[in-house]
Chains A and B, each alone.
Chain A
Amino acid sequence: MPEYSEVSINNLSKSFDGTEVLRDVSLDVSRGEVVSILGSSGSGKSTLLRCINWLEVPDRGEIRINGERIGVREDSSKPMTRRELAKVRTQLGMVFQGFNLWPHLSVLKNVTEALICVQGLKKEEARERGMEFLQKVGMAEKADTYPCTLSGGQKQRVAIARALAMQPKVMLFDEPTSALDPELVGEVLSVMRDLSQEGYTMIIVTHEMDFARNVSDQVVFLDKGIIIEKSAPDVFFNNPGSERVRRFLELDKAS
């Protein structure tokens, strides 16, 4: 068996209603690496991230998590059932732009629900692990409150704890700070920075240039569904190879 990266994406293509959103995208992410995906809206970056855990089903190409194929059965090339998908998905944690907490459950229950229902943990164990991860994102005191009482930044931290508690190998972040008031962005980014220092593999779709520059190991720029730049952050931000990226960075500086 060949050696695979933690996440390897090969020749991924996806269209929505005849519009190609991703064209032949390939990307390798190794263990512990932090990759930021940049691009203007509509460039396909969120779709790429959502394909990685098969929330969006690509038309062509394959994705492997630690060598294990997601979405399609290795032996028969038939689509996986929801249960088979769930098994591969345990390696992936996902954080959404809109937090997607469950409003009827307390903060702690939001974190422990999947531990109990999916991983089959006992209530006590789940509670312990839930508190541990809430602690990690600084939300332990809010364990018994409900999501409607939290600020956006707090909600996102709980959502991160919920994904982390499943102990995934790779964390996927889909514009985690885009729905936040500017003064709340910092607390979420600081949690994410800590995670990167702990060695989590992270793939982040973001508009936060400073974060991409300071935290990531690799910056990827998508334009019209094609990766047109893939480089280390200092190269990307100081001396990008493509004209398109240069323009994007200038526009960002101007704004």
Chain B
Amino acid sequence: MSNWEILWSSRDVFWQGFGNTVTIFVISAIAAFLLGSLLVFMMEGARPRLKKPLRIFIDGMRMLPFLILAYLFYYGLPSLEIRLSAWQAGVSALILYHGAYFAEILRGSRVTLSSGQEEAATALGFSRPSMFIRIILPQLVLRTRGVMGNQLIILLKDTAFLVIITVRELTAAANSLSSTYFIPMEAFIVVIGFYWAISLMLEQSIRLLGRLGEKRGFSNA
């Protein structure tokens, strides 16, 4: 049996890893986006006292290697009597870490949105949350779609770190096959193909978003 045939016969291991990676990625991406949006909303909200701690959180996250955060959640928190499963630790680290990045991306675009649009919404009686959700956020997403797509790909790649805290995702699958059959080259090449495939799908959806944006005159990204 060639090395490739060995891999083919254990394709279930890859599929399981692929499924886990995609699940972790989708959950984390959605939650991180929601967290980022919420952070931006709270930073411009009625409570100025919140602004500083939120800023510190965002900067603190951005200035820290993701791997350290994953380690901290899985190996560090038990010393505080907080025991998370590998999945819980991994996913919550991804959400907090990338949520901070999403917040920073959205906020950067937020400050350049014309204030007249908000005045119009205010004059029409919009509440703050519905103004943010219906008027502001969709525009921020359209404007930042390029950087957002990039950040999503970084998030995808960060899921690979979770192998270190025993999550059975794609990289873990390749790792275990490569050590079981001693075929690291082929195993890791296959896994690269999987990451490329997911990234290409992401790029494609960002392109679709781009088309929506162009129709509306958002051609900056």
> Which residues does A use to contact B, with CB under 8 Å?
53, 55, 82-83, 86-87, 89-90, 92-94, 96, 98-104, 113-114, 117-118, 146-149, 159, 162-163, 166
Contact = CB atoms under 8 A, between A and B. Distances in A.
A113 B125 CA distance: 11
Contacts of A87: 125
B127 A114 contact: no
B138 interface: yes
A103 B218 contact: yes
Q: Which of B125, B127, B218 has the most CB of A within 10 A?
A: B125
Given A146-B215, A148-B216, A100 B135 contact: no
Contact of B216 (A55, A93, A104, A117): A104
A95 to B, nearest CB: 9
A83 B218 CA distance: 32
B205 interface: no
Contact of A89 (B114, B116, B125): B125
Contacts of B126: 86, 114, 117-118
Nearest to A116: B134
A147 B120 CA distance: 15
Q: How large is the interface on B (under 10, 10 to 19, 20 to 34, 35 or more residues)?
A: 20 to 34
B217 interface: yes
B213 to A, nearest CB: 8
Given A90-B125, A93-B123, 15 more contacts: A53-B123, A55-B119, A87-B125, A92-B123, A98-B114, A100-B114, A100-B116, A104-B216, A104-B218, A114-B124, A117-B134, A118-B130, A146-B216, A146-B217, A159-B120
B124 A166 contact: yes
A100 B119 contact: yes
Given A104-B142, A146-B217, A114 B114 contact: no
Contacts of A89: 122-125
A71 to B, nearest CB: 13
A147 B128 CA distance: 23
B153 to A, nearest CB: 24
B117 interface: yes
A163 B124 CA distance: 7
Contacts of B124: 89, 94, 114, 118, 162-163, 166
Contact of A82 (B117, B127, B218): B127
Interface string B102-140: 000000000000101101111111111010001100110
Contact of B123 (A55, A102, A103, A149): A55
Contacts of A99: 116
B99 to A, nearest CB: 23
A96 B139 contact: no
Contacts of B128: 82
A175 to B, nearest CB: 12
Interface string B193-221: 00000000000000000000001111000
Given A117-B126, A117-B130, A94 B120 contact: yes
Contacts of A147: 216-217
B129 to A, nearest CB: 10
A100 B217 contact: no
Nearest to A86: B125
B65 to A, nearest CB: 36
B200 to A, nearest CB: 27
A103 B217 contact: yes
Contacts of A114: 121, 124-126
Given A103-B139, A118-B125, A113 B134 contact: yes
B143 to A, nearest CB: 9
A15 B216 CA distance: 39
